[in-house]
Amino acid sequence: MTTTEQVSVGYIGLGNMGAPMAKRLLDRPGGLIVCDTRPEALEPFGKAGAKVTSSPREVAENADVISVTVLNDEQVRAVVTQLLDTARPGTVVAVHSTISDVTAVELADRCRAHGVDLIDAPVSGGAPGAHKGKLAVMVGASDDAFEKVREPFGHWAELVVHAGDVGAGTRMKLARNLLHFISFTAAAEAQRLAEAAGLDITELGKVVRHTDAITGGAGAIMLRDTTDALDETDNWYPIMTHVRDLGEKDLSLAIGLGERLDVALPLARLALTGLGPGLGVDSTVDKKEQP
């Protein structure tokens, strides 16, 4: 019987994310074959002892688990088409690219007809996380396929989450990135307010990064297992009520400052009425009575 440590791994796509992820598999038992269209990307892996190729078909001939980190849905489809020409039944194809969850499910159905498991396993942490081996990977897979990839994924990921069936990994990544980029937009709004107030926004950035490293940022309130409204007897109720009260006070003050400086703060106004319900408690602010 083949143990997970003996499973041979292939890696397709050696870009800013793929190369450092694949690098952490070089010393893993079971063998590594890497694939890229650029000879210069393959060269250091060949020197380190990995098998190298420019053909996804050759990867499928040599690997039990195949990681794919390419640009978009179209490239993923093209790679999967080639892999299915030679992939053995029982092969697991893990797509780390952020693609549509619909694409992931469609490709998984197509692969299943060949006895191949395609799973969606997008990652979070960016290139810095990839270089440090501290990525989070959100896996949409059957229980059997997840068990097969957990060990090799652990070489480049600090957190391996089984999100659910195929498609669930991508849906979790989209929810995570929704927060990420809304936060960026909110940061830009805060910078506009600070700049209008005559403040050094680079110093503001230092304060934000320092504080978020201590408090955990937005993730600090993501501890409940439901978004339903809280009952007053729930242990979370006084905590979230306290957070709401602080937030509504500070948001009201910021909106007031924005009005005096003629700076529009649309996200702040949305947050003022949405914070309480988002935390599971009622808002104390009437939309008609916003500052």
Q: Which domains does the chain have, with CATH numbers?
A: 4-166 (3.40.50.720), 173-289 (1.10.1040.10)
Asked if residues 87 and 93 have their Cβ atoms less than 8 Å apart, the reply is yes
Question: What is residue 122's predicted lDDT score, i.e. its pLDDT?
Answer: 98
Question: What is residue 4's predicted lDDT score, i.e. its pLDDT?
Answer: 62
Asked if residues 260 and 225 have their Cβ atoms less than 8 Å apart, the reply is no
What 8-state DSSP symbol labels residue 89?
A: T
Question: What is residue 286's predicted lDDT score, i.e. its pLDDT?
Answer: 73
- List helix spans (H) across 167-289: 168-196, 201-215, 236-261, 266-279
Task: Please say whether the dihedral angle defined by the alpha carbons of residues 278, 282, 287 and 291, taken in this order, is positive or negative.
Answer: negative
**pTM of this prediction exceeds 0.85:** yes
Angle of helix 236-261 versus helix 266-279 axis, rounded to 10: 170
pLDDT in tens, the chain (291 residues): 355 667 899 999 999 999 999 999 999 998 999 999 999 999 999 999 999 999 999 999 999 999 999 999 999 999 999 999 999 999 999 999 999 999 999 999 999 999 999 999 999 999 999 999 999 999 999 999 999 999 999 999 999 999 999 999 999 999 999 999 999 999 999 999 999 999 999 999 999 999 999 999 999 999 999 999 999 999 999 999 999 999 999 999 999 999 999 999 999 999 999 999 999 999 998 765 666
Question: What is residue 287's predicted lDDT score, i.e. its pLDDT?
Answer: 63
Question: What is residue 6's predicted lDDT score, i.e. its pLDDT?
Answer: 79
From 47, 134, 173, 288, active-site residue:
173
Query: Is 173 noted as a catalytic residue in this protein?
Result: yes
Asked if residues 69 and 17 have their Cβ atoms less than 8 Å apart, the reply is yes
Asked if residues 152 and 170 have their Cβ atoms less than 8 Å apart, the reply is no
